[in-house]
């Protein structure tokens, strides 16, 4: 295996970082004060700069450096993350992507222009610092690489410190902002109540601070009182220490007093207090330090952990793994068949064990390929933002169910259709702000993306609160284009399906966003290519909801193996509700009306033998497999139900593209091929066939 191109590694990494940056920027638009977001943007830029320089993407690294400096100012609170700044930063991010992905196309003038723009936005104060920081060059890179350290800070103020307007508690508060802090007050100097001067400060503090900031940052906190006070800052090792060691190190207790105390069996702290070798408070403070250090030491390896927890693997290797697992599952099915036919108990045991392992391996492998859909939703935030500006509409995007997992390939292939649907939502669905106000709606339109698991399916919905689909217009256009007979009675869903016809558009104006009637047919084809279905619901004046129903994975499904004539077929188990037997009497009675009564409910059924033109002898006791397709429950009359089958899905070639009743094929244990039924299309086909029979 050849080692991958290092430039490619960087590009992959950069892609993620740029996404992180974009997310942070977009979030900052709504929460400009959020320090965590600012840090996230800053970290992304910092890493981009560092790795860019390391992999020889110098132009990108320099550009990232300029951006990073700007964000450093934001991070330090010197510049606010204004809308204008974020706008520039977003364009800068796009330019940075270009610099990384297609450096030959990026002009250095553009880099300079964006940086100048950025400097202008930040304002005069920022400019000087950005420029100064740029001069530092490589120095800036090393400065950023601080790791955390723990300091012991002993603070003793003079009694009159508050006379000058210094508030010790604010200073302590500033220290706490620097990092993880354990503060222990020392009240031993507090006199009896009668002697207390209310304006005097009697309290001293011991602080243990773990911070990424340099030592100078600690001293900066006390800069105005430093001359009058007693401040000791020492760096301490982040290891668990014994109390005695700490007390001695801090000079609170002479070493021999500790040794004496240690020879006793009592708790050290108590002894030291009793002996008067250390005040109770100082021991308490030292104990607090001990706890802080133990916690810090425990934290350190935990911080390092996430790095080792995940590894990056090229998607191709995962695909290969999935293929191998698929073959294993097929081989295992063969083994099961042999074991079932054999009398050898030992073989049966092994076969069962391998079946269990193969099934677990299959689930695990599929699990590896699962990616939360949030990564897909995230990409659309920028799209919505840009579209809303371009079209002059106010849009807010809501997402839910980001954690819903879906096969990686599926996520990739959903990208384009989703973009198309969201565009339609904003362009056609949502009204202009003034129209919305007139209709009594909020000016700001809503677009909701949601994802949820439902059995072996994932349901993704794209919903807006716009004007909804115009039934009259769609109908008129559909009749005009000949997709619908004039005056024909159709359900809403049937009417809306017309939208997916190639070239269909009711839009009077063609914008450069949508309205050309290109695309919805492509959306439908893509979704069906993923073995999914697409549904539209719309209430006039209240909005439209488009629902995509997709299988969890494209690779392997649980299926029910049935026999029709000599052929064997797989029905996706997720669609199967139950199996019932059709008695000869029922069969006879059902000659002209293919209905069954299942617990009082009328269920139509399709005779697969007729649909597949089977001539082989029929079973005297055929079975009906009840499947659910949408709201519809339909029975499929088969000759025999063989049993469950782990189905490795293989797609059919273009030569069979005209046969829609099958979504794919699979290889059975004996090496023969079985077709996988596409229930929705099968029902359509059955319906069409019945129509033909009625007509003739």
Q: Give contact residues for other proteins (rule: CB under 8 A).
A: 327, 330, 566-567, 611-614, 650, 652-656, 658-659, 661-662, 665-667, 670-675, 685
Q: Do the Cβ atoms of 611 and 686 come closer than 8 Å?
A: yes
Please name the residue ranges forming H helices in 498-607. 520-529, 584-589
**DSSP single-letter state for residue 652:** P
Q: Closest CB to other proteins among 489 and 654?
A: 654
How many CA atoms lie within 13 Å of 205's alpha carbon, on the beta-carbon side?
Answer: 20
Q: How far apart are CA 678 and CA 569, in angstroms?
A: 11
Q: At 613, give phi and psi (nearest 5°).
A: 55, 50
Q: How far apart are CA 41 and CA 23, in angstroms?
A: 8
**Minimum distance from residue 45 beta carbon to other proteins (Å):** 42
- Look-up: residue for tokens 């796009």? 94
Q: Closest CB to other proteins among 165 and 671?
A: 671
Q: Closest CB to other proteins among 206 and 680?
A: 680
Q: Do the Cβ atoms of 210 and 149 come closer than 8 Å?
A: yes
Q: How far apart are CA 185 and CA 179, in angstroms?
A: 18
**Minimum distance from residue 674 beta carbon to other proteins (Å):** 7
**Minimum distance from residue 574 beta carbon to other proteins (Å):** 22
Across 487-622, the runs of DSSP E, i.e. the strands, are: 533-539, 543-551, 556-564, 567-572, 576-581, 595-598, 601-607
Q: How far apart are CA 668 and CA 486, in angstroms?
A: 49
Specify the pairing of strand 395-400 against strand 445-454. parallel
Q: Do the Cβ atoms of 394 and 485 come closer than 8 Å?
A: no
3-state class (DSSP) for residue 60: helix
**Minimum distance from residue 534 beta carbon to other proteins (Å):** 23
Q: How far apart are CA 205 and CA 211, in angstroms?
A: 18
**Minimum distance from residue 550 beta carbon to other proteins (Å):** 23
Q: Closest CB to other proteins among 17 and 667?
A: 667
**Minimum distance from residue 650 beta carbon to other proteins (Å):** 5
Q: Which of 246, 247, 239, 155 is nearest to 203 (CA)?
A: 155
Q: Closest CB to other proteins among 202 and 612?
A: 612
Q: Do the Cβ atoms of 378 and 411 come closer than 8 Å?
A: no
Q: Closest CB to other proteins among 461 and 646?
A: 646
**Minimum distance from residue 326 beta carbon to other proteins (Å):** 8
- Look-up: residue for tokens 């500790």? 258
Q: Closest CB to other proteins among 382 and 681?
A: 681
Q: Closest CB to other proteins among 374 and 565?
A: 565
Q: Closest CB to other proteins among 8 and 670?
A: 670
Q: Closest CB to other proteins among 145 and 617?
A: 617
Token reading at 190: 């507090």
3-state class (DSSP) for residue 225: coil
**Minimum distance from residue 524 beta carbon to other proteins (Å):** 17
Q: Closest CB to other proteins among 495 and 674?
A: 674
Q: How far apart are CA 534 and CA 523, in angstroms?
A: 9
Q: Which of 447, 476, 400 is nearest to 544 (CA)?
A: 447
Specify the pairing of strand 662-667 against strand 533-539. unpaired
Q: How far apart are CA 37 and CA 21, in angstroms?
A: 9
Q: How far apart are CA 517 and CA 539, in angstroms?
A: 22
**Minimum distance from residue 104 beta carbon to other proteins (Å):** 29
**Minimum distance from residue 652 beta carbon to other proteins (Å):** 7
Q: Closest CB to other proteins among 483 and 685?
A: 685
Q: How far apart are CA 679 and CA 571, in angstroms?
A: 8
**Minimum distance from residue 337 beta carbon to other proteins (Å):** 14
Contacts of 191 (CB under 8 A, 6+ apart): 202
**Minimum distance from residue 656 beta carbon to other proteins (Å):** 6
Q: Closest CB to other proteins among 44 and 329?
A: 329
**Minimum distance from residue 694 beta carbon to other proteins (Å):** 19
């Amino acid at each position: 295996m050849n080692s991958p191109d290092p430039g490619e590694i960087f590009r992959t990494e950069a892609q993620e970082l740029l996404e992180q940056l974009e997310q942070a920027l977009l979030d900052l638009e709504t929460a400009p004060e959020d320090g965590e977001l600012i840090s996230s943007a800053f970290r992304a830029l910092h890493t981009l700069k560092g790795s860019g320089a390391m992999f020889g993407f110098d132009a990108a690294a320099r550009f990232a450096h300029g951006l990073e400096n700007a964000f450093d100012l934001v991070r330090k609170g010197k510049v606010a993350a204004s809308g204008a700044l974020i706008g520039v930063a977003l364009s800068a991010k796009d330019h940075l992507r270009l610099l990384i992905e297609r450096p030959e196309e990026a002009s250095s003038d553009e880099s300079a222009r964006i940086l100048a723009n950025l400097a202008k936005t930040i304002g005069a104060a920022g400019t000087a610092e950005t420029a100064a920081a740029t001069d530092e060059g490589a120095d800036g890179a090393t400065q950023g690489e601080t790791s955390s350290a723990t300091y012991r800070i002993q603070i003793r103020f003079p009694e009159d410190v508050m006379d000058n307007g210094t508030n010790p508690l604010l200073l302590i508060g500033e220290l706490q902002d620097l990092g993880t802090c354990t503060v222990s007050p020392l009240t031993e100097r507090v006199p009896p109540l009668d002697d207390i001067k209310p304006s005097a400060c009697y309290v001293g503090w011991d602080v243990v601070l773990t911070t990424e900031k340099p030592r100078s940052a600690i001293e900066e906190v006390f800069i105005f009182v430093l001359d009058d006070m007693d401040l000791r800052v020492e760096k301490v090792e982040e290891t668990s220490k014994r109390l005695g060691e700490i007390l001695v190190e801090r000079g609170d207790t002479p070493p021999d007093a500790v040794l004496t105390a240690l020879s006793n069996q009592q708790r050290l702290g108590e002894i030291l207090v009793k002996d008067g070798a250390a005040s109770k408070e100082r021991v308490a403070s030292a104990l607090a330090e001990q706890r802080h250090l133990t916690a810090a030491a425990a934290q350190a390896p935990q911080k390092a952990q996430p790095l080792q927890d995940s590894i990056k693997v090229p998607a191709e290797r995962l695909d290969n793994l999935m293929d191998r697992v698929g073959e294993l599952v097929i081989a295992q099915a063969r083994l099961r068949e042999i074991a079932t036919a054999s009398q050898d108990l030992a073989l049966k045991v092994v076969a069962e064990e391998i079946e269990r392992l193969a099934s677990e391996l299959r689930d695990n492998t599929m699990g590896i390929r699962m990616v939360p859909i949030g990564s897909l939703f995230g990409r659309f935030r920028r799209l919505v933002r840009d579209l809303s500006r371009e079209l002059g509409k106010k849009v807010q995007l809501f997402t839910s169910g980001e954690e819903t997992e879906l096969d990686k390939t599926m996520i990739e292939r959903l990208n384009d259709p989703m973009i198309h649907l969201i565009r339609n939502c904003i362009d056609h669905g949502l009204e202009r702000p003034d129209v919305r106000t007139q209709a009594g709606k909020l000016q700001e339109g809503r677009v909701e993306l949601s994802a949820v698991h439902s059995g072996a399916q994932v349901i993704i919905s794209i919903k807006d609160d716009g004007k909804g689909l115009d039934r009259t217009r769609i109908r008129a256009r559909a009749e005009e284009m000949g997709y619908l007979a004039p005056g024909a009675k159709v359900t809403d869903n049937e009417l809306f399906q017309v939208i997916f016809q190639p070239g269909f558009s009711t839009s009077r104006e063609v914008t450069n966003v949508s309205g050309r009637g290109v695309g919805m047919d492509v959306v439908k084809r893509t979704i069906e290519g993923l073995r999914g279905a697409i549904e539209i619901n719309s209430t006039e004046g209240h909005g439209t909801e488009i629902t995509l129903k997709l299988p969890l994975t494209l690779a392997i499904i649980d299926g029910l193996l049935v026999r029709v004539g000599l052929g064997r077929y797989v029905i996706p188990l997720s669609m199967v509700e139950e199996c019932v037997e059709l008695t000869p009497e029922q069969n006879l009675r059902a000659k002209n009306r293919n209905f069954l009564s299942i617990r009082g409910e009328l269920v139509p059924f399709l005779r697969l033998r007729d649909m597949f033109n089977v001539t082989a002898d029929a079973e005297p006791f055929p079975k009906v497999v009840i499947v659910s397709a949408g709201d519809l429950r339909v029975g499929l009359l088969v000759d025999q139900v063989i049993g469950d089958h782990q189905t490795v899905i293989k797609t059919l070639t273009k030569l069979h593209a005209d046969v829609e009743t099958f979504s794919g094929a699979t290889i059975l244990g004996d090496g023969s091929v079985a077709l996988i039924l596409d229930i929705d299309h099968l029902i359509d086909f059955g319906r069409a066939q019945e129509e033909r029979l009625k007509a003739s």
